[in-house]
Amino acid sequence: MSPPPTWRTRLTAVARHPRVGLAGKAALAATLSWWVALQLPDPASTYAFYAPFGAVATMYPTVVGSFRESVRSLAAITLGALLALAVDAALGPGVLVVGLVVVLGVLLGGLRALGDHRVYVPVVGLFVLVLGQGHELDYAAAYAGLFALGAAVAMGVNALLPSFPLRLVDGALAGLRAGLVSHLLYLAEQLDERLDGDGHGEREDEVERQGVGRPHLAEPTARARDVVDHLLEAARANRRARRHLPAVRAAQDGFRALERVGLLVEDLYDLLEDRPWG
């Protein structure tokens, strides 16, 4: 039996967790963008807080992810600002105008291309009308420009300090491999018992305690797939990945092989249920 992990080992594991690195990069990007925004002339410096907001909102684990979500968020912000400016120019200020902008913003937010940032369309439209009252154009330009500044800083920080979750992939594949071995051992035992006519296999509650059975097959496979997909995305536009391309390909090939084994295990479960031997 291996000795229990020491506090130093646990602390190292926590420090290496991708979420810790993401938090550090988000804090760095927010601080830098806040400092830059404060150096800008009015009216930009008045709304300087939108720069760190943009940095945090667009900081994602991968470089490609940050770029993709930055484009989506800026598109949603621009759409919301243009909507508010257009409605205000056409109808003028008023209580009903606010409701109209929110209705149209929620409808436009249904565009799939905006992804999770669809909420920015009605929110930004509302902000332009209410917070930018009398200076709608200046406010909209400051909001979009400072958010873009924060997003640019976030992408820069992510490009300089890219994450590369190779350790997570190794752990996920090892877990999937061990799980498949457990399933195969269980199936071999069950098939052996049923072919010999010694019984009808173990009870469902016993199977659940062992963590085997068909319901327990999909989860580790899906988890490993998500981790490998994340690694492939993290490798794009990542200067650290150039040194580890063979490891990336090996992880991808390893998962495909284990996925094929998982399909064969599914077939064995079907065989166990069909009981073609009578």
pLDDT of residue 195: 60
Sign for the CA dihedral angle at 167, 170, 174, 175 comes to positive
On the question of a cis peptide bond just before residue 43, with omega within 30 degrees of 0, the verdict is yes
**For residue 203, what pLDDT is reported?**
47
- In this predicted structure, what is the pLDDT of residue 220? 87
30 versus 19: the higher-pLDDT residue is 30
Residue type, 209: R
Q: How far apart are CA 33 and CA 155, in angstroms?
A: 11
What pTM did the predictor assign?
A: 0.76
Taking only the tens place, the pLDDT of each residue in 82-129 is 999 999 988 888 788 999 999 999 999 999 999 889 999 999 999 999
Give the pLDDT confidence score for residue 19 in this predicted structure: 82
201 burial level (CB within 10 Å; 0-12, 13-18, 19+): middle
pLDDT value at residue 103:
95
Residue 10: CB atoms within 10 A of its CB come to 11
Per-residue confidence at 204, pLDDT binned at 50, 70, 90?
very low
The larger pLDDT score, comparing residue 137 to residue 42, is at: 137
pLDDT at 278: 54
Compute the distance between CA of residue 137 and CA of residue 81 in angstroms, rounded to an integer: 9
Give Rg (Cα) of the chain: 27
141 vs 148: CA distance, rounded Å: 10
Confidence at 1, pLDDT banded by 50, 70, 90: very low
